[in-house]
Chain A
């Protein structure tokens, strides 16, 4: 028995077609036979390596900062903490170029903080660090929002019980909160990684574009449109493939962990 009206199938298939056709069109145009050779080129290898390296660094930072940040946002009752929740979502809705300009005015050589760093001989612009900063700025909110929502709807019953039984706050965090939130942490991490992988505008504006140093996959694809559209398509396919794999893994992880928690409960 269907739990929805039969007419919903019409917009369903329209929506699916709308999303699938552009992807299918691109897959038709990709020069599959030349793909291995294209992807073995220096430019492709450098872009792939740099993207994976920076995204892994970004994901590590996002986890370190994001999990405690989401926990405080979800649990603290202080009014100013609630106000900060709005701030956390801002990078999600900023146009990427604006995010880049914001980072430039903060960490650029003539920026608020960057000017002082520059006086100490530390220049961030045009380095791989700048890429990681740009990616972290846009990716962090994705983990925080996903995790904060999950912690909020899970409630704090188990944490309170654990605390009443004498567990220290840190012990409660590691033994109760993290296992309960594991599915949300996994999916939030996947979102953050995918957002970092796709980061384009802020990197271009803030970090620049040099092969092997700052030119990540999206920047290389954007540039290659001008000169080698075959390689641009090939790298696009790689980008999509990586994103699909990440989604698949995180969906598997989150459902798997969820079942385990239920089984233990």
Chain B
């Protein structure tokens, strides 16, 4: 009988464990994990013509640790490959820096998170704007709802936007207000990647994303410019981290991004800094 008693006891313990796991999974389930510093995904196949340019490279950026917004993960390694990248959501990176994570440079995908980093006392000197990004309207390549642009053709279609809680959604709300076009999205996603995913999978008729996302999706989407969107762009900021382990390499990295790197940034759909 001992075996049976054991089993029933095990059963109730396993039950509590499962429930706790299920609830925990709901809370932590889908957060983006930052790779460890040095775990750069793109170190192998990138050219380094600009990084080795003697003008941009005295002293060199080699060995610097860069905390950068996830939307920069494709273009940054093309500009400078001999550094350690950690790509994540900007707000997550600020939390990591405030928690004492060792980094030389922080590149934020919006002003609010750079301001948060400055307020947290982890930034050395003044942040510099190095790129902009504006909202565009995208539809699946075959445009199933016959959308003609950011206008009344969106009425009654399955439009997906970002939620107002996240920066891309706040920008969408501002555009809606300034153009006077009321939007009735069927879903307000927590990240712009989720919006793009709903459009490329054909689940949504249209979505509002950043120009860089549309550029990255290539031929899978049709892109329509939104009137006035470039007047109120999202701004990208870069700054040195306080008490950085490699301050000179960090400064060299910032010089590479704000100088010769701007050409690469524009190829990926980013606008020039203002």
Could you tell me if B188 and A209 are in contact, using CB atoms closer than 8 angstroms? Answer: yes
Q: Which of chain A's residues have a CB closer than 8 A to the CB of B20?
A: 19, 243
- In the complex formed, the residue of A with least CB distance to B144 is A109
**Docked complex Cα distance between A211 and B27 (Å):** 18
Tell me the minimal C-beta distance from A134 to chain B in angstroms: 12
- Interface residue A194 (Cβ < 8 Å from any Cβ of B): yes
- Interface residue B23 (Cβ < 8 Å from any Cβ of A): yes
- In the complex formed, the residue of B with least CB distance to A210 is B187
A126-B186, A214-B187, A243-B19 known; A209+B163 contact, CB < 8 A: yes
How many chain A residues sit at the interface, stated as a range, is: 35 or more
- Interface residue B7 (Cβ < 8 Å from any Cβ of A): yes
- Interface residue B165 (Cβ < 8 Å from any Cβ of A): yes
Provide the B179-199 mask, 1 if CB < 8 A to any CB of A, else 0: 000000111111000100110
**Docked complex Cα distance between A258 and B186 (Å):** 47
**Docked complex Cα distance between A176 and B16 (Å):** 28
**Docked complex Cα distance between A92 and B181 (Å):** 44
**Docked complex Cα distance between A50 and B130 (Å):** 43
Stretch in A74-82, A159-167, A223-231 with 4+ CB within 8 Å of B: A223-231
**Docked complex Cα distance between A246 and B19 (Å):** 9
- Tell me which of A108, A214, A222 contacts B201 (CB under 8 A): A108
- In the complex formed, the residue of A with least CB distance to B18 is A191
Q: Which of chain A's residues have a CB closer than 8 A to the CB of B165?
A: 223-224, 226-228
Residues 107-134 of A at the B interface (beta carbon under 8 Å)? 108-110, 123, 125-126
Q: Which of chain B's residues have a CB closer than 8 A to the CB of A104?
A: 201, 203
Tell me the minimal C-beta distance from B185 to chain A in angstroms: 7
- Interface residue A148 (Cβ < 8 Å from any Cβ of B): no
- Tell me which of B30, B164, B189 contacts A208 (CB under 8 A): B189
Q: Which of chain B's residues have a CB closer than 8 A to the CB of A142?
A: 18
Main secondary structure of the interface of A (DSSP, over half): helix
Stretch in A5-13, A29-37, A60-68, A196-204 with 4+ CB within 8 Å of B: A196-204
Q: Which of chain B's residues have a CB closer than 8 A to the CB of A258?
A: 8
**Docked complex Cα distance between A7 and B109 (Å):** 51
A197-B22, A258-B8 known; A126+B187 contact, CB < 8 A: yes
Q: Which of chain A's residues have a CB closer than 8 A to the CB of B220?
A: none
CB within 8 Å of A: which residues of B? 7-8, 11-12, 15-16, 18-20, 22-27, 29-30, 91, 158, 160, 163-166, 185-190, 194, 197-198, 201-204
Tell me the minimal C-beta distance from B147 to chain A in angstroms: 16
Could you tell me if B15 and A198 are in contact, using CB atoms closer than 8 angstroms? Answer: no
Q: Which of chain B's residues have a CB closer than 8 A to the CB of A205?
A: 194, 197
- Tell me which of A190, A204, A222 contacts B19 (CB under 8 A): A190
Question: Tally of A-B residue pairs with Cβ under 8 A?
Answer: 127
Tell me the minimal C-beta distance from A248 to chain B in angstroms: 9
CB within 8 Å of B: which residues of A? 19, 96-97, 104, 108-110, 123, 125-126, 142, 153, 187, 190-191, 194-195, 197-201, 204-205, 208-211, 214-215, 217-219, 221-224, 226-228, 236, 239-240, 243-244, 246-247, 250-251, 254-255, 258
**Docked complex Cα distance between A194 and B185 (Å):** 30
Tell me the minimal C-beta distance from A69 to chain B in angstroms: 19
A187-B15, A191-B19 known; A153+B7 contact, CB < 8 A: yes
Tell me the minimal C-beta distance from B140 to chain A in angstroms: 9
Could you tell me if A194 and B186 are in contact, using CB atoms closer than 8 angstroms? Answer: no
Q: Identify which of B27, B163, B166 gathers the most chain A CB atoms within 10 Å of its CB.
A: B27
Could you tell me if A208 and B29 are in contact, using CB atoms closer than 8 angstroms? Answer: no
Q: Which of chain B's residues have a CB closer than 8 A to the CB of A244?
A: 19
- In the complex formed, the residue of B with least CB distance to A43 is B165
Known: A123-B158, A198-B24, A200-B30; 11 extra A-B contacts, CB below 8 A, are: A126-B158, A191-B19, A194-B23, A198-B27, A204-B194, A208-B160, A209-B188, A210-B188, A223-B165, A223-B190, A254-B11
Q: Identify which of B23, B91, B185 gathers the most chain A CB atoms within 10 Å of its CB.
A: B23
Tell me the minimal C-beta distance from B81 to chain A in angstroms: 30
Could you tell me if A210 and B27 are in contact, using CB atoms closer than 8 angstroms? Answer: no
Interchain residue pairs A-B with the least CB separation, the first 9:
A208-B187, A198-B26, A218-B26, A227-B165, A198-B22, A194-B19, A126-B186, A200-B29, A110-B202
- In the complex formed, the residue of A with least CB distance to B21 is A198
- In the complex formed, the residue of A with least CB distance to B17 is A19
**Docked complex Cα distance between A254 and B16 (Å):** 13
Tell me the minimal C-beta distance from A226 to chain B in angstroms: 5
- In the complex formed, the residue of B with least CB distance to A192 is B22
